Structure 1
Amino acid sequence: MTYAERAPRVRRPAQALFGRLCVINGFLFTAGTVVLALSPATVSAPVLPTELPVLLTGLLLILAANAFLVRRSLAPLDALETLMERVDLLRRGDRLTEQGNGDLTHLVHTFNGMLDRLEAERSASSAHALAAQEAERQRIARELHDEIGQSLTVVLLGLKRTLDRAPEDLRPELQAAQETVRDSIDEVRQVARRLRPGVLADLGLQSALAALASEYPFVTRRVDPDLPELGADVELVLYRIAQESLTNVARHAGATSAELSLSVRPGELLLRVVDDGRGGITREGAGIRGMRERALLIGALLTIKSTVDSGTEVRLSVPWDGQAR
């Protein structure tokens, strides 16, 4: 049950705040009047010099008590402002505790409910966007493999036939063109594999991670051999986050070594990508935000620790209760 589903029916926040301040000040003024009426203290007209300290002391006590009670009553507003400044819909679960403070609890309650709705809408829109992205990747991969790849293969075969009949002085140039086309075919196939990891669907996550790590000679792979049976969505998220992390390492980290690991721990599956590069990530780009969006789709927690000159660690913790997801 979300905060919004169990929201109580109370007065509007502005009315509640106005009433609270009236009650606090009314209480203090009434208490001051009672004390003045029952105490032996008297005030002359005009006020005598000896009575001024009594009056000033009473005034200071009333002001201090009023400031304390009002400050304590409005404390949730400070916490609410702090949460507003730091809230990020890609990091779930950041909420204010609803306790005490009378009518202001409803304001906190309403804000928490709003975050619930925004996170649900963000997750739904992210799921649709990522599903469309995966479909587009598969379409491009098929076109690269079936059309461009086959066209290059036809060109390669044509060059081979031409090379067999070509005069000796043209053979070196034709052989160079042949090697260029062959390299292009390999590159097209590699791009297609990255766009659509067929090995993931055909052979499973372990084989897909092994193939991914083999593309980077500086990467060491450690995958638990007893991985549980996972759903297609979970496997795809794990693979894509590992892929994006290794791509970032290769492009930006300047690392000499990195480790890709996936292990089973009590209550979680833990994916880690650690490198010894320059570190010091200060701004999250589109790639990292995309990783966070994918993590949200399966209820996982993504954390990134990056220290200058000490490398970067990407951790994805996937809740796991021992059953297939």
Structure 2
Amino acid sequence: MSGIVDQRPQRARGDKRAGKTPASALFWRLFLLNALVFVAGAVVLMFSPATVSTPVAAAEVTVLTLGLALMLAVNAVLLRTSLRPLDGLTALMERVDLLRPGERLAVRGNGDVTHLVRTFNDMLDRLETERGASSAQALAAQEGERQRIAQELHDEIGQSLTAVLLGLKRTVDRAPDDLRAELRTVQELIRASLDEVRQVARRLRPGVLEDLGLLSAMNALATDFSQASEVPITRRLDQRLPALGRDAELVLYRIAQESLTNIARHACASRAELALTRERDGVVMRITDDGRGLNGSAEGAGIRGMRERAILIGAHLTLGPTSAGGTEVRLVVPVEAERG
């Protein structure tokens, strides 16, 4: 980042030494175009047989009107040609989104407007780089906080509930018959709460991903999704996937986790599919459902978080409808990102 910061003042000083900024250069360009048109018109009038009498004759008015119209038309064509790139630049400014990086305006020629387009493209490069760096720091802090909370849930709350269960078991063994049934009901409630705490800790910190690898983590994630949502899920997991970097595996897991969570909460689906395959473009993950789809709804924090994670490893994320009317989440991890 420091190299970029140092270069910008140098370019600015170079423009000042030349006595011309982009704004003044565009002004003089337009001024010279207009001057060229009027000079050409004056030369034509000087060497043409046309004259202007007093009072002005109708034929002379027609000639002057046609000449003025011709000069305005030529001036409009020249200005339109010079300023046409600004239309594309304006459209790009309106639709640019740092979560969908890579969109740029083609640079043609060496004019002043072309310099403006090139400067805007450079600015987008810097913004996307800075956004990626800040997102990486934020997501790294988020993962660290998730691990800390998962560890506290496991070590403190989990162990406390386990101690309560052991103490309650001894109480049940010594309790009279009329209280034993109620105490066992409480015992089952505490045991269910302990299972929920362990599931939350497992979602916060995917230990199976670190211990057994990506495929085992995806299988466990699909199993938990089916048990929690009662939506059957079809799995197509390629056993011959190339070795992925730790960051790429974590991004794949988190995006799959968020996608399945959205299906369980919002899709009202009757079935889902999780596919992880190796294709020519790289490793491709598809998560589809037959639910009600996006229906033009705005992207929430979950989807924007998925896009930020994809940017971190240079992956391409798309969301769209399926032929069955549901939603497809498609993530393509390029070959470069596979090596971490």
- Of 285, 292, 304 in structure 2, the residue corresponding to residue 278 of structure 1 is 292
**Structure of greater relative contact order (alpha carbons < 8 Å, 6+ residues apart):** 1
Q: Which amino acid in 1 is paired with 2:128?
A: E
Whole-angstrom distance in 2 between the partners of 1:3 and 1:271: 35
Cα distance change on mapping 1:261 and 1:308 into 2, 3 Å:
closer
* 1:19 paired to 2:28: yes
Whole-angstrom distance in 1 between the partners of 2:339 and 2:24: 51
Contact 1:3–1:112 (CA under 8 A) maintained in structure 2: no
Contact 2:270–2:290 (CA under 8 A) maintained in structure 1: yes
Whole-angstrom distance in 1 between the partners of 2:234 and 2:101: 32
Paired residue for 2:40? 31
Q: Which amino acid in 1 is paired with 2:327?
A: T
- Of 150, 166, 169 in structure 2, the residue corresponding to residue 157 of structure 1 is 166
How far 1:20 sits from its partner (Å)?
A: 1.3
How far 1:296 sits from its partner (Å)?
A: 0.5
Contact 1:299–1:319 (CA under 8 A) maintained in structure 2: yes
Paired residue for 2:141? 132
Q: Which amino acid in 2 is paired with 1:42?
A: T
Whole-angstrom distance in 1 between the partners of 2:291 and 2:191: 33
Whole-angstrom distance in 1 between the partners of 2:110 and 2:72: 21
How far 1:46 sits from its partner (Å)?
A: 2.9
Contact 1:200–1:207 (CA under 8 A) maintained in structure 2: yes
Whole-angstrom distance in 1 between the partners of 2:43 and 2:187: 103
State the SS of the aligned residue for 1:104.
helix
Greater CA drift, 75-84 or 296-305: 75-84
How far 1:73 sits from its partner (Å)?
A: 1.0
Whole-angstrom distance in 1 between the partners of 2:55 and 2:211: 98
RMSD: 2.1
- Of 88, 93, 106 in structure 1, the residue corresponding to residue 115 of structure 2 is 106
Greater CA drift, 122-131 or 94-103: 94-103
Contact 1:73–1:101 (CA under 8 A) maintained in structure 2: no
Which deviations, in whole Å up to 9, do the C-alpha atoms of 1:43-78 show, x marking residues without a partner?
A: 223321121111111110111111121122112222
Cα distance change on mapping 1:18 and 1:86 into 2, 3 Å:
same
- Of 275, 282, 285 in structure 2, the residue corresponding to residue 261 of structure 1 is 275
Which deviations, in whole Å up to 9, do the C-alpha atoms of 1:69-128 show, x marking residues without a partner?
A: 112211222222111111111111111111126111111111111111111111111000
Whole-angstrom distance in 1 between the partners of 2:337 and 2:242: 8
State the SS of the aligned residue for 1:273.
strand
* 1:304 paired to 2:322: no
Whole-angstrom distance in 1 between the partners of 2:21 and 2:337: 46
State the SS of the aligned residue for 1:215.
helix
Paired residue for 2:84? 75
TM value normalised by structure 2: 0.91
Unaligned runs of 5+ in 1: none
Contact 1:255–1:278 (CA under 8 A) maintained in structure 2: yes
Contact 1:223–1:263 (CA under 8 A) maintained in structure 2: yes
* 1:172 paired to 2:187: no
Whole-angstrom distance in 2 between the partners of 1:322 and 1:145: 33
State the SS of the aligned residue for 2:53.
coil
Q: Which amino acid in 1 is paired with 2:208?
A: V
How far 1:309 sits from its partner (Å)?
A: 8.0
Whole-angstrom distance in 2 between the partners of 1:77 and 1:121: 26
Whole-angstrom distance in 2 between the partners of 1:323 and 1:120: 20
State the SS of the aligned residue for 2:317.
strand
Which deviations, in whole Å up to 9, do the C-alpha atoms of 1:263-283 show, x marking residues without a partner?
A: 111132111111111111420
Cα distance change on mapping 1:321 and 1:84 into 2, 3 Å:
closer
**Which protein is richer in helix relative to its size?**
2
Cα distance change on mapping 1:48 and 1:72 into 2, 3 Å:
same
Cα distance change on mapping 1:180 and 1:323 into 2, 3 Å:
closer
Unaligned runs of 5+ in 2: 227-231
Contact 1:43–1:51 (CA under 8 A) maintained in structure 2: yes
Paired residue for 2:329? 314
Q: Which amino acid in 2 is paired with 1:173?
A: E
